[in-house]
Amino acid sequence: MGERVRAKAAAALGRWVEPDEVYSQGKALRSEVDFKAHRAMSLADARPSVLEYVRASNEGRLEHLVPLRIGRMLENPFAFFRGSAGLQAGDLAAGCATGLHAQLCGDAHAANFGLYGTPEGQIVMDINDFDETLPGPWEWDLKRLVTSLVLAGRVGGVSDKGCRDAAEDAVDAYRKTIRHLAEIPFMDSWTALGDESTLSKVKADDLINDFSKAAEKSRRNTSARFAAKWTAHDGEKWRFVTNPPTFTEVTQKTADAVVGALPSYVDTLRESRRNLIMRYGVSDVAFRVVGTGSVGLRNYLVLLHGNGTEALVLQVKEARQSALQPFLDVDPAKHEGKRIVHGARLVQAETDILLGWTTVEGRHFIVRQFRNRKGEIDATTLKRDDLDDYGRFAGALLARAHTRSLDPRLLAGYFQNGGGNDLDEAFAKYAFDYADQTEADHEDLTKLVKAGKLPAHVEEDR
């Protein structure tokens, strides 16, 4: 009996493989995809024009918010890049890939690495946006990251040399982190956190002050603080104090639909967390416009009240098909919210304990805490040395994220036996070329708006 149990356990866990065998499998890929092959920037054969792409990506969004989305993308080439993940995904699909797949962020640009609080109150930095997450080539995330560093640096006035250093050092940190995680116990690599100590490990000391300032600010960025500013008691119950046009009231029908969808959301949480959320009561629902790439999607805030005057705000955000879906051999998700939650839980070292999904009026949504001690380091404001350090930090965080779903020994094998600088330079070359392409795309968008072919609303004070 005991032997059968052990045999079943072994079958379930998989056959143990010598590390050298795994490294060799990765190393063999070098003969198929040399490091220098990553230099080439390919564009999709059927690449849409900027007009075609923007119109297609606006389908299904709230029409009255489309000009706001375009206005935000107009701000600079980095902002355009943030709103066009699908455009680059099609181009990446036309390029080279080793065949090693990881659970991708899908939109791993520099602004999608942010600070947030763990359940224990620790401030960590990690990928914090998974709207586009799908299994796919690890190269796609890394190429999107290094391109974004070049674009962010250019917006911030960093020299070409500084931008190149940031891109190359991001890849260098990615490689070295993969190698380190491949050499340590599986449990240690799985639980590695992107806290302040990581900065020293990747020699990003110049960024420590930026991290500390952002962490201090993020500690104050809570539901309670938001509620203190944006809610009031009307004599009967607590309600949101809205601020049109970006923070508005909803109809009673919409409020009822959102509240009616919360029980199915609760069912997606782990059992102990269901007990937690069920102690709160719903007070109000409002609509709030979200960031550049998501402008025009349905996004609701739900005000909950707990123990006494305790306030908790949940975000109920529309989940659409990943922009990467048309370019990957992956079955369409049965529920886009579940896809996003699955990706976040798989990739992040620490995930929001109230992250779940639901359906509102036939549309898919994710649900999560709003302002869960979240913060950011704006890459477009960083000086040369700080941008370089930010690249190292982000590269290391991306490597850790990928190894949750891809055995780091396979990638370490691909990176083995020197030539690492060739890979760093190859990705940086790609980044510069694609940054040039993005600037051209942004210029096309500017011309389309000036010609009246696309509507744009530019916010005066954002």
pLDDT at res. 206: 62
Between 186 and 139, the more confident residue is: 139
State pTM to two decimals: 0.92
Rounded distance, CA 73 to CA 82, Å? 8
Q: What is the CA radius of gyration of the chain?
A: 23
Residues in the chain: 462
Average pLDDT in the 284-306 region? Answer: 93
Rounded distance, CA 333 to CA 195, Å? 32
What are the boundaries of each domain within the chain? 21-38+49-219+382-450, 223-369
Nearest Cα residue to 191 out of 120, 273, 280? 120
How confident is the model over 202-216, as pLDDT tens digits?
Answer: 656 666 676 777 667
Percent of the chain with pLDDT over 70: 91
pLDDT at res. 2: 38
Which of 29-33, 209-213, 324-328, 381-385 has the largest mean confidence?
324-328
Percent of the chain with pLDDT over 90: 72
How confident is the model over 236-245, as pLDDT tens digits?
Answer: 889 999 999 8
How confident is the model over 400-452, as pLDDT tens digits?
Answer: 999 999 999 999 999 987 777 999 999 999 999 999 999 999 999 999 999 99
Average pLDDT in the 272-295 region? Answer: 92
Nearest Cα residue to 401 out of 149, 138, 143? 138
Nearest-5° angle of CA 389, CA 390, CA 394? 120
**Is the pLDDT assigned to residue 10 strictly greater than 70?**
no
Q: How confident is the model at residue 153 (pLDDT cuts 50, 70, 90)?
A: very high
pLDDT at res. 6: 37
Average pLDDT in the 308-313 region? Answer: 90
Nearest Cα residue to 427 out of 33, 39, 37? 39
Q: How confident is the model at residue 198 (pLDDT cuts 50, 70, 90)?
A: low
**Is the pLDDT assigned to residue 274 strictly greater than 60?**
yes
How confident is the model over 254-267, as pLDDT tens digits?
Answer: 999 999 999 999 99
Q: Going along 210-362, which residue ranges are E strands?
A: 231-233, 238-240, 247-249, 281-288, 299-305, 311-318, 356-360
